[in-house]
Structure 1
Amino acid sequence: MHNNHIRVSARGLVWRDDELLVAQDTKPTEEEPFYYPLGGGVEFGEHSENALRREFGEELGVTLKNVTYRETYEGLFTFDGNPAHELWRVYEAEIVESWPYERDEFSGYEAEFNEEIECFWKRPAEFSEEKVTFYPEQLVSDL
């Protein structure tokens, strides 16, 4: 599925003390997992902050508060053999509900791909060690 458009996604940095809420996934061709901040695609006509709030609602059933814009990152990469181009609009945010903070790991749901999202709390130091991959990679040094 090769397409020539730039995908814009909104991502949220949610902290629990010194740990960041991240989702885990595995590339189709690799066994090692990678991690990324939760969020998702921005739809045409939708502001990225609203997209972030919508995605957290859809995937985790939670509400965000204290959402503040932080940075935009750009990535050109290959995924599953196809070239991809993404802009990541990154926000700091807090979750209103307390349950995510009380669990060390839990699952969300991605309706678009009909799959569970495995969520964990990780210290950013784990991403700067080469064993653990985090996207967008440029964000690691800013954490």
Structure 2
Amino acid sequence: MPETASVARCVVRRNDELLVEERVDPQAGRRDYAPPGRRIPEDSDPETAVRAEFEDVLGVTLGDLSVLGTFEDTLLYEGDVDDAWLYSEEGFTLYNPETGETDRLCWLHLDDFRKYGETLRPAGLLDAL
């Protein structure tokens, strides 16, 4: 794992769309999107961390993964999900009973980022796709 990577995320595609998590900064009034992922625990490796995120949060299994690269502090993988139901959903909201927070995941077309100004994080990821 690169020393600078503290987060692991995975790009999952559905044709020209990406599965992304919507993140809102209420203080700044901004919204951005990032592939699903999580912080890498000290006792774990990036691949295990990103697989655990998909299994724990979405209940799906990632297939083979390939490394896209490190962007900012994030190691990015690209992979497919073995569970077909995920590809048939347009978006969904996940509720975390421990924190009381909700997360919104959806499929956004690459044009939403390239032409229409939505922000994909980490910086540099869109150019790598």
> Normalised by the size of structure 1, how large is the TM-score?
0.79
Q: What residue number does 1:121 align with?
A: 107
Pairwise CA distance, 1:13: 0.4
2: distance between equivalents of 1:139 and 1:24?
16
Per the alignment, residue 64 of structure 1 pairs with: 62
Q: Mind listing any 5+ residue stretches in structure 1 that lack a counterpart?
A: 1-5, 75-86
Q: Distance in 2 between matches of 1:66 and 1:116?
A: 28
Q: Which residue of structure 1 aligns with residue 10 of structure 2?
A: 12
Distance 1:56 1:42, change over 3 A: same
Aligned to 2:128: 142
Secondary structure of 1:45 counterpart:
coil
Retained in 2: the 8 A contact 1:11–1:90?
Answer: yes
1:112 Cα deviation (Å)? 6.9
Mapped pair 1:132 → 2:118:
yes
Scaled by the length of structure 2, the TM-score of the pair is 0.87
CA distance in 1, matches of 2:100, 2:40: 18
1:57-79 deviation line (CA, Å, top 9, x unaligned): 111111110111110011xxxxx
Of 19, 22, 42, the match for 1:21: 19
The structure with the largest strand share of the pair is: 1
State the 4+ residue runs in structure 1 displaced beyond 4 angstroms. 109-113
Measured in 1, the distance between the counterparts of 2:31 and 2:17 equals 18
5+ residue gaps, structure 2? none
Counterpart in the other structure of 1:31: 29
Q: CA RMSD in A?
A: 1.9
